[in-house]
Amino acid sequence: MKTKTQSEVFCIGKERDWEDLGGGVKRQIMGFDESIMMVKVRFAKGSIGKLHDHFHSQVTFCAEGKFNFTIGNETREVVAGDVIYMQPDIPHSALCLEEGMLIDTFSPVRQDFLDGSAVSYFGDK
């Protein structure tokens, strides 16, 4: 099922809802069109983004906190100000070491986020 493929021009954070993904993780979908999407993801300490992969290119900016990221076979600590690039179809995961927020950018749009069909890789939802 295809859903809306363009956000509003101005995506004001305080006017947008946060979606509880379970396991101490919340997501706020921001700007998007068919070719790109930006999403804020807030993690409680100890939250885990389970190992998963997808066909999208992903660039993640660590806005706050500290995380252990595993990309393929490499694990590195990431702190505020760092960026991670995940090529399509590479397995990746994250463990939140200190409460924080990641800014994820995907290409193309994560249609599964918009239509709710994505299998969650957070908590037990």
Residue 104 contacts residue 58 (beta carbons within 8 Å): yes
Q: What are the chain's domains? A: 27-115 (2.60.120.10)
* Secondary structure element (H or E) that encloses residue 113, with its range: helix 111-115
pLDDT value at position 5? 83
pLDDT digits (tens, 9 = 90+) for 60-93: 999 999 999 999 999 999 999 999 999 999 999 9
pLDDT value at position 119? 63
pLDDT digits (tens, 9 = 90+) for 97-119: 999 999 999 999 999 898 887 76
How much is the pTM?
0.91
- The Cα 46–Cα 86 span in angstroms is 22
Structure tokens at 1: 């099922």
Of 10, 47, 51, 3, the residue nearest 25 (C-alpha): 47
